Structure 1
Amino acid sequence: MKYDLIKRRRVDVAALLMAAAIIGTGCGQTPVGSTTETNNAEEITATSDESNNEQQDTANEDDNNEASNIEESAEEETEAEEAEEEKNDEENDDSAEESEEEELPALKDSVEKTMGCRFGCAITGQEPWDLSVWDIVTKHFNCVTLGNELKPDSLFGYSNGKCPGTEEAELNGETITVPVLTFKNPEKILDKILKWNETHPDQALQVRGHVLLWHSQTPEWFFHEDYDKEKPYVTAEEMDKRQEWYIKSVLEHFVGEDSKYKDLFYGWDVVNEAISDSTGTYRTDTERPDEDLSEDTHGGNSSWWHVYQNESFIINAFKYANKYAPESLELYYNDYNECNAKKRSGILKLLEAVKAEEGAPGEGTRLTAMGMQGHYSVSGPSTAEFETSVKAYGEAVGNIQITEWDLSASDSYDSSDPASVEAEYEKNRKQYNLLYYVLKSAQKAGTAKVTGMTFWGTIDKYSWLQFRSNVGGGNKSGQSQCPLLFDSKYEPKPSFWVFAETDSE
């Protein structure tokens, strides 16, 4: 298809100070092994918050016959669609010129017809107040993930160095001392969504909660006596109370019976990135030898593990979430590098352990779906690796979701060279096309039920991959990136049309 013939009305907007709008990796590892730098969030600067800075494994095995067949089928399908679209372009050359913005198909509608699942994006910081971004979000997506605002450090007021203060709380008939929570950061965006939904019920947005338990972006003082990181770690028994109180407080505030936000949320990431890249087993307190546990927050090492020395806190998190979440709220495990064979094996064991403890609220766990973050590159994973992973997680849990989808650029990409940009956009389109084809095939075959696809951002220039973060992930080399469906000028890229097409069957 001649993508240069696809024109759209450009929206002129004043340049915003959008450091704050950059998505904290929510959880994913940068595919080509980048790191990011957490800035002062009180100044609304963005955090790319991924858990460690090891390179995403994009080394692919030689394509086997099955992978080749997938690629050929996907490309044949695309070529047929492109030929039909070029024919339509020629037929419509003499038609009255309309606004390109109006001509663009709404991606959420196309995906609904093809996959029957949610279609979302991540937003954070000031992005919702960039009117052109908001137009993209509300036209093309039906759900959003808040990139940083619902993480523990945000709900503790970004007081990572020192506890912001304490108060008394009741838990299971006992009075305990707890740190003060603040909900103003997420509520600013949630209130905007509520207002939008009230005035645009036909374009209503839902929200994915992200995240309750994570080794990263959780202040170190939370694990110590008197919430003072200079004092000893608390016991596992004491940490159980803190964990249950935190999950109870967050869920009751946002999805409790009296919460004005209760109808916004469709699901919540309960545990995030608990499996090690290096060992393929549980993430411990020594994942990164160069990182000291005394630091305010961690990119790789887990203070949760340091307190428990086992995975019981993971099981407990799902039990507490099941206890305090309404039955309608979906509960997820979420991780990156999930197509790497060694790590996939570890994730599957975690899922098995959580499923083994399933039970009624207050008694057991509940796990709705596996969140495959999808921080990939234009060269990997291979279709064979991706298909194997989708099938494995589908067999383990039933439902899967792509939760933080983006594609890092090839090493040769030069954003200042038009020819390089065109070539890179085509690589980006082809990889999205191949992976989407695998998802469509799995959905049709019943090997996995895909219940959601979410991209980690909206337009390229606000992607977390453009920046660095000291908690892992993001851009290490300073190379410009083009990972999403819309370019930095709010225009759809060739990859947009991968998801705009609907199955002809």
Structure 2
Amino acid sequence: MKEWKKRAAGVLVGVMAISMVTPVVGTNAAAKPKLSTKKVTVKVGAKKKLSVKKAKGFKVTWKATKKKIVTLKKKGKYAVNIIGKKKGNTSVVATLKKGKTKKKLTCKVVVKAKSVAKGTDSKPAATADTAAAATNAPVSQSAAPAVSATPEATVAPTSTPVVYDKPTDYVGIKDAYKDFVGTLGTCINTWQLTDSEAMDHVKRHYNSVTMENEMKPEAILPKSASDTVSIEEAKALGYDIPTSYVDSVVPKLRFDNVDAAMENAHKNGLRMRAHTLVWHSQTPSWFFQEFGGTKKVSEETMTGRLEFYIRNVMKHVMEQEKKLGVQPGDIVYTWDVVNEYLHRSGNPSWHTVYKYDDEDENKLRPKYVKLAFEFAHQMRKEYGVQDKVALIFNDYDTYFEVPNEIAVINFINENEPEKICDGIGMQSHVDIKRPTIDGEEGYITALKAFMNEGYEVQITELDMTINFDTDDTDGRRPRYDYRDEGETLDEQAVFCGNLMREILKAHVNRDKTKCPKGLTGITLWGLYDSISWRGKSEPLLFKSLTEPKESYMKFVAAPSEVAAELAK
């Protein structure tokens, strides 16, 4: 989970005026700052760079007079990207300051509607009838069917799409997507797995679940460093003690919530993504210190603990699958081995033991990240599930870090006899204005780049906020929290439909010789708005378990719309 993104598609041209509040002292006309262009026209979702020339020594801030029309993203000291947000006219003002000198340059901007491909609708579906022509047949109440670990389907749906009047009869999301992406999931907690109403909703729409917190290190490691046993006691309890382990005691791992989650998921015909083995956050600080002390441990000690933790968590899960009467990999089909390495923070943690500073040339060659995948891959080999269980590098804001994300994953697989990191998890906590859908740092550009490298992609934590502060303008840093910006659920629905259509088209049209698997799963991060971690910004497809939103209608319509477009 975490921070944020953009969206695009476009062109440019408009009108402008320059007004000087205070003359620049000691300069001639040729040296006066001026804007790079006087006219900008941009389509919704597209971006145009605007800069100030001859502004050396000035501090430049940017402001849009109508923030509902455009979003501004500062680029360096003297430039800004103007991103079309909503059809209309506005002005972008550059304020230049140097000492007591102040100057304003104003550029008028025209935002035009985004072109809509034939067969699509730029307006949100208003009724069940309008969505009826773009969704699949109704789904039964039975448990979700078993799906392969890396399903891929690109056959266009042939059934007549139907949506029913009663909310409880709306088409299941997994059924709408089954001809494109076989695994559709959601994020839940242990209590929701035992709530009959919640599970009716989950089984109708999903065939996969990700536990929001129950499989993170903080939930499995003991609460205190004092809760340990000797090596001999640990072996008697069934722990695997690797030769790399140098501590004299072993932390007692807690699996009650994991076992309950697995049992309930299996009972309800659901599979699970395991999130996550290694993360700088939600891992107790004592795990990086001497047990019972405060001194930071060495890399050697930490490597032993890393191997111990990964081997024993994965072993327990796969042995638990056997106890439930299935084979390893039948329930837990994916592991987020490392989470958010490129956005690591906090102290103490993995990066403070293995020491990778942002300026370090080894930043993109992190030893502990590669070790984590080596240990995880060894476990799936021991259980014979390497073709059944995916190992994923999961991160947020992947659209702004494409070269770095690829560099780290390539390093993980470097000099390995076989691929040990199967692909990338794109967390996808997106906002309707960040990231753009297309463009240099757009969502689809990133998705295509990862697939062009041959990597499987899983969308792991998808939600789509409105009224969420992502702007960096007027010297104000974004708060990445709720901010009333006048954005509507209708705007969310349009963005949702546009994004999902482009995602599916990128998956279908990928080079399958380079990337056989493509997009193998989509997980929405929560059941409905009010229980979302970003609830105020209404990021999900449902208001409640029984109230689908217009964004849901657009979400389930996308597969049939793409199928119809491909069939032409």
TM-score under structure 1 length normalisation = 0.69
SS state at 2:171 partner: coil
Instruction: Pick one of 139, 148, 154 that aligns with 2:213.
Output: 148
Establish whether residue 28 from structure 1 lines up as the match of residue 28 from structure 2.
Answer: no
3-state secondary structure, aligned to 1:458: coil
For this pair of structures, how many residues does the alignment match?
A: 387
Instruction: In structure 2, give the amino acid aligned to 1:238.
Output: T
CA-CA distance at 1:70 after TM superposition:
12
TM superposition shift of 1:436: 0.8
Tell me by how many angstroms 1:345 deviates: 2.6
Q: 2:453 aligns with which of 396, 402, 407?
A: 396
Q: Is the 8 A contact 1:253 1:259 kept in 2?
A: no
Q: Give the superposition deviation at 1:379.
A: 1.4
| Contact 1:163–1:221 (Cα < 8 Å) also in 2 | no
Deviations 1:371-391 (A, max 9, x none): 000011121211121121111
Alignment gaps of 5+ in structure 2: 7-70, 75-80, 85-110, 134-162, 235-239, 357-365, 470-483
1:81–1:274 CA distance, 2 compared to 1 (3 A):
closer
- Over aligned residues, Cα RMSD in angstroms? 3.4
Cα drift, residue 400 of structure 1: 0.9
- Check the 8 A contact 1:58/1:381 in 2, yes or no: no
Do the aligned partners of residues 181 and 89 (structure 1) sit closer, same or farther apart at CA in structure 2, a change above 3 Å counting?
Answer: closer
Instruction: Kindly report which structure 2 residues correspond to 1:450-461, keeping only aligned pairs within 5 A, or say none.
Output: 450-461=519-530
Q: 1:391 to 1:30 in 2, by over 3 A?
A: closer
In the alignment, is the contact (CA less than 8 A) between 1:133 and 1:459 conserved in 2?
no
Q: Alignment partner for residue 394 of structure 2, among 334, 337, 340?
A: 334
**Structure 1 residue ranges without an equivalent (≥5):** 1-26, 33-56, 91-96, 197-203, 277-282, 294-301, 413-419, 467-479
Partner of 1:319: 374
Alignment TM-score, normalising by the size of structure 2: 0.62
Higher relative contact order (CA 8 A, sep 6+): 1
Aligned to 2:154: none
Q: Does 1:77 align with 2:135?
A: no
Tell me the distance in 2 between the aligned counterparts of 1:69 and 1:368: 41
**CA gap 1:74/1:112 in 2 versus in 1, 3 angstroms:** farther
Q: Distance in 2 between matches of 1:236 and 1:173?
A: 15
Kept in 2, the 8 Å contact 1:29–1:336? The answer is yes
Partner of 1:216, secondary structure, is coil
Q: Please give the residue correspondences for 1:270-349 in structure 2 after superposition, counting only pairs within 5 Å.
A: 270-276=337-343, 283=344, 287=345, 293=347, 303-310=349-356, 311-325=366-380, 326-327=385-386, 328-340=388-400, 343-349=401-407
8 A Cα contact 1:318 1:354, kept in partner:
yes
Q: Note if 1:482 corresponds to 2:538.
A: yes
- Matches of 1:178 and 1:272 in 2, distance apart? 24
| 1:3-18 paired onto structure 2 within 5 Å | none
Q: Distance in 2 between matches of 1:89 and 1:76?
A: 14
The aligned residue for residue 313 of structure 2 is: 250
- CA deviation after TM superposition for structure 1 residue 352, in Å: 1.6
Q: Secondary structure at the match of 2:544?
A: coil
Range moving further from structure 2, 393-402 or 308-317? 393-402
Q: Which has the higher helix share?
A: 1
The superposition leaves residues 258-286 of structure 1 with CA deviations (integer Å, 9 ceiling, x where unpaired) of: 4537321111100000003xxxxxx4xxx
Helix, strand or coil at the partner of 1:275 = helix
Aligned-pair distance for 1:79?
A: 5.6
Deviates more, 1:74-83 or 1:314-323: 74-83
The answer to whether the aligner puts 1:497 opposite 2:553 as a matched pair is: yes
Decide whether the 8 Å contact of 2:336 with 2:393 is kept in 1.
yes
Contact 2:167–2:547 (CA under 8 A) maintained in structure 1:
no
Structure 2 CA distance for aligned equivalents of residues 392 and 182 of structure 1: 39
Match of 1:433 among 486, 497, 511: 497
**1:107 equivalent in structure 2:** 173
Rounded to whole Å, the distance in 2 between the matches of 1:338 and 1:174 is 33
Distance 1:424 1:366, change over 3 A: same
Q: Once the 2 structures are TM-superposed, how far is the Cα of residue 465 of structure 1 from its aligned partner?
A: 1.2
* Deviation by residue 1:270-321 (Cα, 9 ceiling, x = unmatched): 0000003xxxxxx4xxx4xxx6x3xxxxxxxx62111112410000000000
Please tell me whether the aligned partners of residues 338 and 372 of structure 1 are also in contact (alpha carbons under 8 angstroms): yes
Q: Which whole-Å CA distance do the structure 1 matches of 2:396 and 2:377 have between them?
A: 24
Q: What's 1:4 paired with?
A: none
Q: Distance in 2 between matches of 1:254 and 1:133?
A: 24
- Counterpart residue number, 2:429: 375
Matches of 1:243 and 1:179, distance apart in 2:
12
- What SS does the aligned partner of 1:484 have? coil
Shift of 1:187: 1.8
SS in 1 for 2:501: helix
Q: Which residue of 1 aligns with 2:11?
A: none
Offset from partner CA, 1:94-151 (integer Å, 9 cap, x none) = xxx98714531111011112x2331110001422234332221110001010110001
CA distance 1:179–1:431, shift in 2 (3 Å): same
| Contact 2:193–2:265 (Cα < 8 Å) also in 1 | no
Counterparts of 1:259 and 1:400, CA distance in 2: 31
Partner of 2:476: none
